[in-house]
Amino acid sequence: MATLDPANGTPGITTATPGRFRLPLRRRAAAGDGPVRAALAPLLSAHQAAHPGADQAELLRGYAVAERLHRGQLRRSGAPYITHPLAVAMILAGMGMDTTTLVAALLHDTVEDTPYTIGEVRAGFGEEIAVLVDGVTKLDGERWGERAEAETFRKIVLSAADDLRVLVIKLADRLHNLRTLRYQPEHKRARYAKASHELLVPFAERLGIHVLKREMDDLAFAARSPDAHAATGRAVRAALRDAGEAFGPAMRRVRRSLAEHGLRAAMRVRPSHLYAVHQSFRGRLAGLRPCEAARLLLVVDGSERDCYVALGAVHAALHPVAGQVRDYIAAPKDNMYRSLHTRVISPAGDPFEVIVRNRAMHPVAEYGIVAHVRDAADGASGGTATAVAGRRDLVWLSRLLAWQSGATSAAFLDGLRADLAADLAAGNVAALTARGEAVPLPAGATALDFAYAQGPAVGDRCIGAVVNGRLAPLSVQIRSGNVVEILTDPSGAPSEDWLDLAATVSARVHIRLGLARRRAEEAAEAGRRRLVQALAGRHVDLLAAEARGESLAVARALGYPETDAMYGALATGALCLDDLLARFARP
């Protein structure tokens, strides 16, 4: 029977027997354990390296089920389809993810593209794996039509709120599809890569998984702009040929200074990824210098205090550029990234960036939330599924959940793109409430955005703000460290001009919802007045009819859930007055 290649959206061929696949008994899986173990050897090895002593039985069983279900299906490259879920699981194993996540990765396309059901996943592998598999399963395009993409992303976001590993699996899935994108037609490559840059890469940034973000960035860049990607690659490679000569003298000075301060640190030149270089120089790469294509990374053996001492040692060895120190240790980024960044001048006169962190910060700086999940799987946090609950670096997810429910499919997808892009555009600010609670906002956010960050009940009724003790309009831009108090009025309501003041998607969504509610209320009031006047001429009292429940009964009979909806339809012309009068007229 014909199937759809879930990674590429292309037809594949399967020779599987039609009908429901039955989960193999454990003894059957054990009988074929040899070939399964051989196929799974690299994955088992990578998982054991991260989690020594982990039970391999569930991985073997998950692979056996996935391989049988996908047997006969091919990727567009011609490779057996099972190579895709296996590759996704390998990516996750390389990051040290737990056994449950790896099993879900092996099974992640079974429900979407085979007769296997979520119920069978739940029966065979338990609720936790079923939740992960269901979370990454795309919605049926035939059923959802043009809404399928938006509602699939909404489903992923909602599932990630319950278990963030859904989003991690989705990112690994997209990374492997980007790695194999060359097998797609050119027009599909560009579209797929654009969607990756707009939606998936920002999620990797939000979760702090920079090892995925960097590769996804570059692969999507290569697909969208192959000429620019090739030119950037050539420029970076040419620049890095002289990296040793350019960075060597500076590193020797820093090494001596660290020793004088009694510190030890691993030090290495770290090339910037190609997309970052392309964006920084806007494609103008002629004469790219080594210090423009790479940074110096110091990983200190010591405490947070030692990181600041190391920063001083760097500044003692190399002249610092004024105003270029960024302290992400005292004030971590939203994704909990912690490091010190500074810009210094090399002995040859070239400015370059130095990053300082300690060994405890390094895994989180590279793997973000995955580092915390990995610690939980090792027993450090008391359970993988709950390891990330209530984390400050997931405030963005709470904000996203708060506005998405009121958005249509198209508005949700557009809003999601804008929301993700806003946080990446120019960094974030962290303002404070009067109680000292931090409120992260994108750069350029106003007091109105701050109000809606407190919830729609505050935002809809705000009338002004007090910023650092002084009265300020809702249009004032909020800066990091500002202490903001929102003034409200119980009778306050959103106005049209607020849409020009709001910088965040969540604020704009709630403003539009508030305006829609107000328009609906005004229409209902106008429709009711019209009906009152028309019924009065027939000696019918609408207020009495409402009290007896007759008005609600008429509304329900016409298909409206409440009387206000019926009155609003009358005001807009969707409901004919004569038809309505006939239902109220006395016999």
pLDDT tens string 483-492: 999 999 998 8
Spatial contact of 365 and 338, defined as CB atoms under 8 Å apart:
yes
Quick check: helix, strand or coil at residue 40? helix
pLDDT given at position 406: 67
Domains of the chain as residue ranges with CATH: 35-209 (1.10.3210.10), 228-367 (3.30.460.10), 429-499 (3.10.20.30), 513-585 (no CATH)
- Termini Cα distance of the chain: 64
pLDDT given at position 156: 85
Would residue 112 show up in a list of annotated catalytic residues for this protein? yes
Q: What is the DSSP letter of 313?
A: H
Spatial contact of 403 and 506, defined as CB atoms under 8 Å apart:
yes
Q: Return the closest-CA partner of residue 368 out of 106, 152, 165, 155.
A: 165
Q: Give DSSP secondary structure letters for 171-231.
A: HHHHHHHHHTGGGS-HHHHHHHHHHIIIIIHHHHHHTT-HHHHHHHHHHHHHHH-HHHHHH
pLDDT given at position 586: 54
Residues 315-351: pLDDT tens digits? 999 999 998 999 999 888 877 889 999 999 999 999 9
Q: Return the closest-CA partner of residue 133 out of 148, 112, 162.
A: 112
Q: For the residues 464-484, what does the mean pLDDT come to?
A: 92
Decide which of 172 and 438 is more confident. 172
Catalytic residue among 58, 112, 128, 151: 112
Spatial contact of 420 and 199, defined as CB atoms under 8 Å apart:
yes
Residues 197-224: pLDDT tens digits? 988 898 898 888 999 999 999 999 999 9
Residue 1 has pLDDT above 90, yes or no: no
Name 186's Cβ contacts closer than 8 Å, sequence gap at least 6.
none
pLDDT band at 498 (very low <50, low <70, confident <90, very high): very high
Q: At what angle do helices 99-106 and 57-70 cross, to 10 degrees?
A: 10
Any bridge partners for residue 312, and if so which? none
Spatial contact of 317 and 256, defined as CB atoms under 8 Å apart:
yes
pLDDT given at position 21: 36
Decide which of 1 and 471 is more confident. 471
Q: For the residues 127-140, what does the mean pLDDT come to?
A: 88
Q: For the residues 223-246, what does the mean pLDDT come to?
A: 92
Q: Position 336: which residue type?
A: M
Q: For the residues 79-94, what does the mean pLDDT come to?
A: 95
Residue 30 has pLDDT above 60, yes or no: no
pLDDT given at position 244: 86
Name 579's Cβ contacts closer than 8 Å, sequence gap at least 6.
none
Residue tagged 């059923």 (tokens): 143
Catalytic residue among 5, 98, 109, 113: 113
